[in-house]
Amino acid sequence: MQPSLEKLRKFFRLEHENKYTNTAIIGGLAKMLDYWEGEARADGITEEVIQAVVSRLRSYEKISPDGRAESLKGLWKRIGDTYPEAGQKPKPPQQQPQQQPRPQQQQRQQTPPPSQEAEGQPSTPRPASQQQQSQPQQQKPRQNPPPRSESVVGAKHSQTPAALSAALTVLQGVGPRNAESLEKLGMQTLGDMLYYFPRRYEDYSQLKPIQSLMYNDVVTVLGTVQSVHTRPIRGGKSSVIEVIIGDGTGALRISYFNQPWLSNRFKEGDAISVSGKIDQYLGRLVMNSPDWEPVEVENLHTNRIVPIYSLTERITQKWLRNQMNSVITYWAPAVVDALPETIKRAAQLVSLGEALTQVHFPDSQARLKLAHERLGFDEIFYLQMGVMRQKRDWKSVDGRRFPISDEWLVARLGALPFTLTSAQQTSLDDIRKDLDSGKPMNRLVQGDVGSGKTVVAALGANIVVSGDAQAAIMAPTSILAEQHYRNFINLLAGDGGTMQQSEIRLLVGNTTESEKEAIRQGLQDGSIKIVIGTHAVIEPDVLFKDLQFVVIDEQHRFGVEQRAELRSKGTNPHLLVMTATPIPRSLALTVFGDLDISVIDVMPEGRQPVTTYVLRPQERERAYSLMRAQIKNGNQAFIVYPLIDESEKIDARAAVDDFETLSKQVFPDLRLGLLHGRMKPAEKDDVMLKFRDKEFDILVSTTVIEVGVDVPNSTVMMIEGADRFGLAQLHQLRGRVGRGSVQSTCLLIPTREDATENERLQAMAVTNSGFELADLDLKLRGPGEFLGTRQAGYASTLKMASITDVKLIEKAREQAQALFERDPELSQPEHALLAEAFERFWGAGKGDVS
């Protein structure tokens, strides 16, 4: 059965076990559609079946449990009509309806259950390790290989699924309204609560007495409110609230300006904690507008490290902390630890129960650190197991072989207008080997902007075409597609090339309908060998005679489904994805672990590194005159504005407004073009083409020019609001200049003067290496910058592990690899729990890379 149908079957069965409560997947069955559709298409499931699944699951939430049972059964029957092999499989299990978890009085009697709520409710679920352990044996003997997850695919975290997947309303004090608020925070079950980690901690275990405070200390002080005064300042226009707190060793004055409503929040005698910086006023130590919180008397909130959770409306810190406390105390120790003892010992990890307890209510900083380490380890470990399995799955099918002779290749290289750099040569060797390996290639070519990835892809395509098959290249914009198209023609169909121009075609959105029809025809009958285009190439009516090589340029610009769609147009075609976003090693190992990686880390000869300056805003004139000088020499310039989100009206206006000033007042004698994200694709292309053809001297633009456009004649780039960009993005932008042999310049102008010292901008001035910048950016801003659609999904599953923690990553990888070698299917009995936990982590919708 196709994997996507298999997956449906598992979820349906689980849903049946869950009595059609729409809980087989966290957030409801419809959630799986996010990724299932793409997977189903990749499996070649018919559109009718896909649509049937989509529409049933969309409405699933709204119907009654009885109706749901009918709906799923009907749907499965519908699938069986088209895919008999699916229909024949045993129906959702015939086993007994699962028992509701029962209190198990013999266990943990000493601890009171978290609640005794509600009439007629099933009793409070409790740790039921006994039941849980016996579960696997109760089932039918397993076939070979054992199914990976007969149960609990959707319940993200719990190791004791039945109990920990209980709704939060089982907790005392949590009614439907509070449950709703908690859901906003991502908590639906007790298990979710265990994994709702504190945002930060207040370490009351190391409070400073007021007596020993020093100027400039950043501290938390605990004290009792002694007096509260409001007094007008600046002639009554403003007011200041002064609160004196004391702790027995001294008194401290704290002030809040213009927040009159605070005055009734502080009551004499209340214990509060204030956190902030110690300042000085008229020779006395004070605190200005510190964060503050009422302090409760219980031990829970004082004299210890206290968790601070992110909140939402109707929920207070104290309330949540109390709820957490009861859930954690009771459930954390009961969680079954899926990680085998051997691995825990080898990696020196604490138990899961200990980690979950300590991460919420740490007994010391040291134990908190160990808790973080354990939880982070788990994340990387499961991620790694997943990418290894994916890699193996990739390699488990056959790929067509495309052997070529050395003579053939030498002749091809001889026909190129330049000699490949050593790095290009190595990447090409990798690709040549992959294409003759009998397995589908699954390779990422990573190379800085301008490093010359296109020619490598073109030669790969040429190899496949020489074996009588077809290639498709997909780029994110039509400008880029067109650029590739011209390159491919030059490289492959020029003097000494093996191809005819007519065998290489461009297919983009505004290709005429008759041309499109001709291309579709040619692809289907095989007379067209290479198609280069945008999303247009994945339209359903584009069909290939024999697609064997798929290239995705700027892969992070595409969604998982789009990549899968292109791939599904051939049978196990070889896949090459390319990116100019340097991926730091630690990240590459984790997130892209299922891909083979080739790195192009050498620039073609004759490139001059771009000289970068960070200017202060009032030095803008200097930038303008430098631009003028270059333009006088026949070169061109970019001026770029930050437009992080194209829907941000304010930024778009800034670019447009400045365009007015620039063209009317600053450069009235020059030709300026304007390019931004809200222009229609055709308009954008038009402006870009005019710039390329030198009809503009200066292109005023937002980040839409970021992606791979090659205009070697442009030698200056000025970036306004440079502090608002990530380093990776700045580097990408800068890559638009320095493509010819003329010395190029990049001028960074931060929004405000004090941002001039901004570490990131200075880094740009110091290095031209995308990799160095990427590492720094990762440290400063986290992984989001580097990741596309699926990859962002990965990173968001990393709540605890820092993607910069190379040591932890290596450790988790090592263990995952060793385990994978011993038991790749996790089929040994001692790995049964691990297999379940893995499936939960991995089953929650992490697609593959393409």
Helix (H) or strand (E) holding 540: none
- Interface stretch with ligand ADP, choices 29-37, 143-151, 400-408, 449-457 (CB under 6 A): 449-457
Of 223 and 708, the one with the shorter C-beta distance to Mg ion is 708
Of 189 and 715, the one with the shorter C-beta distance to ligand ADP is 715
Please pick, from the candidates 451, 581, 714, 791, the single residue that binds ligand ADP as defined by CB under 6 A: 451
Q: Is the dihedral of CA 92, 93, 97, 101 positive or negative?
A: negative
Largest CA distance in the chain: 91
Q: Which residue in this structure is represented by tokens 């793409």?
A: 38
Contact 510, 561 (CB under 8 A): no
The angle at the Cα of 181, spanning 178 to 182, to the nearest 5 degrees, equals 85
Asked whether position 573 contacts Mg ion by CB under 5 A, the answer is no
Asked whether position 420 contacts ligand ADP by CB under 6 A, the answer is yes
* Count of residues touching ligand ADP (by CB under 6 A): 17
Asked whether position 445 contacts ligand ADP by CB under 6 A, the answer is no
175: its two tokens:
């009614």
Of 424 and 744, the one with the shorter C-beta distance to ligand ADP is 424
Please report how close the Cβ of residue 455 comes to Mg ion at its closest, in angstroms: 10
Contact 1, 43 (CB under 8 A): no
Please report how close the Cβ of residue 308 comes to Mg ion at its closest, in angstroms: 45
Query: Phi first, then psi: what are they for 292, rounded to 5°?
Result: -145, 160
CA distance linking residue 575 with residue 490, whole number of Å: 23
- Interface stretch with ligand ADP, choices 153-161, 401-409, 443-451, 750-758 (CB under 6 A): 443-451
Please pick, from the candidates 101, 440, 447, 843, the single residue that binds ligand ADP as defined by CB under 6 A: 447
CA distance linking residue 204 with residue 296, whole number of Å: 12
Contact 543, 523 (CB under 8 A): yes
Going by the DSSP 8-state scheme, the letter that residue 162 receives in this structure is H
Of 383 and 537, the one with the shorter C-beta distance to Mg ion is 537
Neighbour tally for 223: CB within 10 Å: 25
Asked whether position 455 contacts ligand ADP by CB under 6 A, the answer is yes
Contact 461, 530 (CB under 8 A): yes
Please report how close the Cβ of residue 704 comes to ligand ADP at its closest, in angstroms: 17
Of 356 and 491, the one with the shorter C-beta distance to ligand ADP is 491
Please pick, from the candidates 424, 636, 729, 768, the single residue that binds ligand ADP as defined by CB under 6 A: 424
CA distance linking residue 335 with residue 342, whole number of Å: 18
- Interface stretch with ligand ADP, choices 416-424, 526-534, 659-667, 741-749 (CB under 6 A): 416-424
Asked whether position 450 contacts ligand ADP by CB under 6 A, the answer is yes
Please report how close the Cβ of residue 775 comes to ligand ADP at its closest, in angstroms: 20
Residue 450 interacts, among Mg ion, ligand ADP, none and using kind-specific CB cut-offs from 5 to 8 Å, with ligand ADP
Of 376 and 708, the one with the shorter C-beta distance to Mg ion is 708
Please pick, from the candidates 114, 223, 399, 452, the single residue that binds ligand ADP as defined by CB under 6 A: 452
Residue 455 interacts, among Mg ion, ligand ADP, none and using kind-specific CB cut-offs from 5 to 8 Å, with ligand ADP
- Interface stretch with ligand ADP, choices 90-98, 192-200, 412-420, 583-591 (CB under 6 A): 412-420
Helix (H) or strand (E) holding 579: strand 574-579
CA distance linking residue 248 with residue 451, whole number of Å: 67
Asked whether position 673 contacts Mg ion by CB under 5 A, the answer is no
Asked whether position 550 contacts ligand ADP by CB under 6 A, the answer is no
Please report how close the Cβ of residue 423 comes to Mg ion at its closest, in angstroms: 15
Of 453 and 846, the one with the shorter C-beta distance to Mg ion is 453
Please report how close the Cβ of residue 552 comes to ligand ADP at its closest, in angstroms: 13
Please pick, from the candidates 338, 449, 599, 707, the single residue that binds ligand ADP as defined by CB under 6 A: 449
Of 349 and 580, the one with the shorter C-beta distance to ligand ADP is 580
Asked whether position 710 contacts ligand ADP by CB under 6 A, the answer is yes
Contact 443, 434 (CB under 8 A): yes
Residue 582 interacts, among ligand ADP, Mg ion, none and using kind-specific CB cut-offs from 5 to 8 Å, with none
Please pick, from the candidates 165, 454, 568, 701, the single residue that binds ligand ADP as defined by CB under 6 A: 454
Neighbour tally for 514: CB within 10 Å: 8
- Interface stretch with Mg ion, choices 248-256, 499-507, 628-636, 700-708 (CB under 5 A): 700-708
66: phi > 0 → left, psi -120 to 50 → alpha, else beta; which?
Answer: alpha
832-843 vs 365-395: helix axis angle to the nearest 10? Answer: 80
3-class DSSP state for residue 348?
A: coil
In one-letter notation, the amino acid at residue 217 is D
DSSP conformation letters of 753-781: GGGGG-HHHHHHHH---HHHHHHHHHHHH
Asked whether position 453 contacts ligand ADP by CB under 6 A, the answer is yes
CA distance linking residue 314 with residue 182, whole number of Å: 10
Of 574 and 736, the one with the shorter C-beta distance to ligand ADP is 736
Q: Which of the residues 578 through 617 are near ligand ADP (CB under 6 A)?
A: 580, 604
CA distance linking residue 117 with residue 106, whole number of Å: 21
In one-letter notation, the amino acid at residue 477 is T
Q: With DSSP H G I counted as helix, E B as strand and the rest as coil, what are the percentages for the chain, rounded to 5?
A: 45, 15, 40
Please pick, from the candidates 570, 708, 726, 735, the single residue that binds Mg ion as defined by CB under 5 A: 708
- Interface stretch with Mg ion, choices 85-93, 463-471, 706-714, 798-806 (CB under 5 A): 706-714
Please report how close the Cβ of residue 553 comes to ligand ADP at its closest, in angstroms: 7
Please pick, from the candidates 38, 307, 708, 847, the single residue that binds ligand ADP as defined by CB under 6 A: 708
- Interface stretch with Mg ion, choices 146-154, 262-270, 640-648, 708-716 (CB under 5 A): 708-716
Of 361 and 592, the one with the shorter C-beta distance to ligand ADP is 592
3-class DSSP state for residue 825?
A: coil
CA distance linking residue 571 with residue 573, whole number of Å: 5
**Binding mask 553-582 vs ligand ADP (x if CB under 6 A, - otherwise)?**
---------------------------x--
Please pick, from the candidates 18, 189, 421, 586, the single residue that binds ligand ADP as defined by CB under 6 A: 421
**For 408-412, which contacts have Cβ atoms below 8 Å and span 24 or more sequence positions?**
408/466, 411/496, 412/459, 412/462, 412/497, 412/498
Please report how close the Cβ of residue 808 comes to ligand ADP at its closest, in angstroms: 32
Q: Which residue in this structure is represented by tokens 């710039």?
A: 691
Of 580 and 639, the one with the shorter C-beta distance to ligand ADP is 580
Residue 420 interacts, among ligand ADP, Mg ion, none and using kind-specific CB cut-offs from 5 to 8 Å, with ligand ADP
CA distance linking residue 357 with residue 326, whole number of Å: 11
Residue nearest to Mg ion (CB): 708
**For 9-12, which contacts have Cβ atoms below 8 Å and span 24 or more sequence positions?**
9/76, 9/86, 9/89, 10/147, 10/149, 10/150, 10/153, 11/153, 11/154, 12/72, 12/76, 12/92
298: its two tokens:
């219980």
CA distance linking residue 330 with residue 164, whole number of Å: 11
Residue 452 interacts, among ligand ADP, Mg ion, none and using kind-specific CB cut-offs from 5 to 8 Å, with ligand ADP
Residue nearest to ligand ADP (CB): 452
Please report how close the Cβ of residue 600 comes to Mg ion at its closest, in angstroms: 11
Integer angstrom CA distances of residue 218 from 243, 290, 295, 539, 681: 19, 10, 19, 59, 52
- Interface stretch with ligand ADP, choices 197-205, 413-421, 505-513, 539-547 (CB under 6 A): 413-421
Please report how close the Cβ of residue 527 comes to ligand ADP at its closest, in angstroms: 27
DSSP conformation letters of 669-719: TS-EEEE-TTS-HHHHHHHHHHHHTTS-SEEEE-GGGTTT---TTEEEEEE
Asked whether position 452 contacts Mg ion by CB under 5 A, the answer is no
Beta bridge mates, 200: 308
Q: Report the interface residues with ligand ADP, using CB under 6 A.
A: 418-421, 424, 447, 449-455, 580, 604, 708, 710
Q: Report the interface residues with Mg ion, using CB under 5 A.
A: 708
